[in-house]
Amino acid sequence: MPKNLSIQKIIGILLHRLPMIILSAVLMGLIFFIYTSLMIKPVYSTSSMIYIQNYGKQPAVASTDDVEDSTAASNDSGSGAQQSNNAAAQKIFNSDLAGSASLASNCVTLFQNSTDITRYYDGCNVTMATANNTFYITISVNGTDPQKCANVANIVAEKCATVFHNHFPYGTIGTIREATAPSQPVSPNKVLNTMIGAVVGLVLACLAAVLLEMIDTTLKNDDDLQKMYKIPVFAEIPDFETLGR
């Protein structure tokens, strides 16, 4: 028969089946933990950091003496005035910082689209971004092999310098922080997944308990009879076998 379930009735059902609900939550949490541990590969993350400045000399990268002399002369003529201004004022001007930040932002786009750099990703997920709109660039690498992630981050930082020198005759680039192999994965989060599994098991068990109560057509007490036939119950005959008599 259809049953009208009030909030008190639902609470009573849940309390009556509390052991089953708790067991379901524990089992579902355990299943999620085992699945996370055995089926999902851990992902490690590491990063290196480089800086880019639009002033100052860069080392010569040409292979011949003539080209080296030409590059050095070009650097002296193009950046010598800027260096002398900074030295005379004994400070770095705000325009230098803003220009370096803009150059770093443009270099991120250059580096991310340069095949001379992307060929060294080696199956890892590599992202580059400027730190808080400064001229510092963070190279983040994610992958399943921690040592490979560190190697890729350092190689990419090195190749960024080569690409920078190939495209810009002036300015400087250098490494601030080298990447190291991480000891702990960043994902999956076993504790979080286990808690999610426990919550899922708890919700499913509660729904199952209420559903079982709704489809149960057996008569358990005189209230069920009264609701079915719309007449009061005056007496009950006890079950002597159940009572052990």
- Radius of gyration (C-alpha) of the chain in whole angstroms: 35
Classified as helix, coil or strand, 2 is: coil
Is residue 228 in some structural domain? no
Question: Is the model more confident about 70 or about 48?
Answer: 48
CB proximity list for 26: less than 8 A, separation 6 or greater: 198, 201
According to the model, what pLDDT value does residue 233 have?
A: 61
- For 79, half-sphere exposure in the C-beta direction (CA atoms, 13 angstrom radius) is 19
Residues 138 and 76 in one domain: yes
Q: Structural domain tally of the chain? A: 2
Question: 49 has which bridge partners?
Answer: 138, 177
CB proximity list for 29: less than 8 A, separation 6 or greater: 194, 195, 197, 198, 201
Is residue 161 in some structural domain? yes
First to last CA, the chain: 32
- Cβ burial, residue 14 (10 Å; 0-12/13-18/19+): middle
**Greatest mean pLDDT range, 77-81, 90-94, 138-142, 221-225:** 138-142
Residues 71 and 104 in one domain: yes
According to the model, what pLDDT value does residue 71 have?
A: 42
Instruction: Give the pTM.
Output: 0.67
- Summarised one tens digit per residue, pLDDT across range 77-112 is 445 555 555 665 557 778 888 999 999 999 999 999
